[in-house]
Amino acid sequence: MTMRVVECNICGEPLAAATDDELLGRLRAHVESEHSSAPLDEHQARETIAREAYDASDS
């Protein structure tokens, strides 16, 4: 199964989801819970995913 993956620009933690929309939610939730002093709005998160997300296989 292929997953979409993006790494947090702050701590480097990889976040994975089946779709970019799910990845958007995971990225925003991660930043909100782990990096609340560096908020990330939806537009910024979408740009990050468009620029940096990649496909990864679950082997």
1-57 pLDDT per residue, tens: 789 999 999 999 999 999 999 999 999 999 999 999 998 999 999 999 999 999 998
Range of the domain at 18: 2-57
Tally of structural domains, the chain:
1
| Structure token digits, residue 33 | 């819970």
SS (H, E, C) 14-56: EEEECCHHHHHHHHHHHHHHHCCCCCCCHHHHHHHHHHHCEEE
